[in-house]
């Protein structure tokens, strides 16, 4: 699977501008031969926009993303707010190239006052789905900073962990260092797709990357709007897990108390 990762500053609070940019990115990624395009966290509306996110979530944002995926014939993971049951969730939606909704992940670990002021936490540690021969796990930003999340993805058989992110200063070292560790300790691909620029009170770190199961960085960005490309080979995940058998050598009977 060829994946494309869209790092962008976006236009905070302007759904039309962000969807227009996503339209262009889908066209470029599809022309490049990518099977899947991944955006950053809350890409469609912007992340640090306060209570306005609830107003924008009343639109059918998912349907707009589904239309783009269908028109360009490319799968898309889009970060957007989702209203359900009176709650607002920070969601990553995976849409197939035919526009069908394949999976959604609601951010399980809310980060600080910013998240808790506007979002409700999701109840799934990780969301896993099969698409085009690749087992894909979805997490959002802070979720990946909990080792249990990526380990759960790996033990569920994931080949690729997709992490739409809005990582801000002063936490650049997470993008630069932690993501490689998560890929290495689980022998899975990790695509960490970050926001860039300034928004509200936040300055984002950029530094998106795609890391192989070996810990090798396959593609990386600094600052700026950019599309990163990388190839995901499910067979390599199995090879790396046999060569570096963290998963096989686990002793879960010793770990029970750690989850309490």
Please state the pTM of the whole predicted model: 0.96
Confidence of residue 256 (pLDDT cuts 50, 70, 90): confident
Residue 260 pLDDT exceeds 70: no
The per-residue pLDDT for 81 is 98
**Average pLDDT of every residue of the chain:** 96
Residues 60 and 91: their CA atoms lie apart, in Å, by 13
Residue 80 pLDDT exceeds 80: yes
Contact yes or no for 164/143 (Cβ under 8 A) = no
Across residues 162-174, what is the average pLDDT? 96
DSSP 65: H
Q: Where are the domains of the chain?
A: 2-259
Contact yes or no for 141/111 (Cβ under 8 A) = yes
Please tell me the CATH superfamily of domain 2-259, with its number.
Answer: Carbon-nitrogen hydrolase (3.60.110.10)
Q: Which helix (H) or strand (E) holds 215?
A: none
Residue 258 pLDDT exceeds 80: no
Is 36 strand, coil or helix?
strand
Contact yes or no for 123/110 (Cβ under 8 A) = no
Active site residues: 41, 107, 141
Contact yes or no for 229/4 (Cβ under 8 A) = yes
The per-residue pLDDT for 257 is 74
- What are the pLDDT digits (tens) for 113-167? 999 999 999 999 999 999 999 999 999 999 999 999 999 999 999 999 999 999 9
């Amino acid at each position: 699977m060829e994946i494309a990762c869209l790092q962008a500053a976006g236009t905070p609070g302007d759904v039309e501008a962000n969807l227009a940019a996503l339209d262009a990115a889908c066209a470029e990624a599809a022309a490049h031969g990518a099977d899947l395009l991944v955006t950053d966290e809350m890409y469609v509306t912007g992340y640090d926009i306060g209570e306005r996110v609830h107003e924008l979530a009343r639109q059918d944002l998912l349907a707009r993303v589904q239309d783009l995926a269908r028109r360009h014939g490319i799968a898309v993971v889009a970060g957007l707010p989702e209203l359900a049951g009176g709650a607002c969730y920070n969601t990553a939606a995976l849409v197939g190239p035919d526009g069908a909704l394949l999976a959604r992940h609601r951010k399980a670990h809310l980060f600080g006052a910013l998240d808790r002021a506007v979002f409700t936490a999701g109840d799934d540690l990780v969301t896993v789905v099969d698409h085009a021969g690749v087992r894909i796990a979805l997490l959002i930003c802070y979720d990946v900073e909990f080792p249990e999340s990526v380990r759960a993805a790996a033990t569920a058989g994931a080949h690729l962990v997709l992490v739409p992110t809005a990582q801000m200063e002063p936490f650049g070292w997470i993008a630069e260092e932690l993501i490689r560790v998560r890929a290495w300790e689980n022998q899975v691909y990790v695509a960490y797709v970050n926001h860039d620029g300034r928004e509200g009170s936040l300055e984002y770190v950029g530094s998106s990357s795609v890391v192989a199961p070996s810990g090798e960085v396959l593609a990386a960005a600094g600052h700026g709007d950019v599309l990163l490309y990388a190839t995901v080979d499910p067979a390599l995940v199995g090879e790396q897990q046999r060569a570096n058998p963290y998963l096989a050598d686990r002793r879960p009977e010793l770990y029970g108390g750690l989850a309490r």
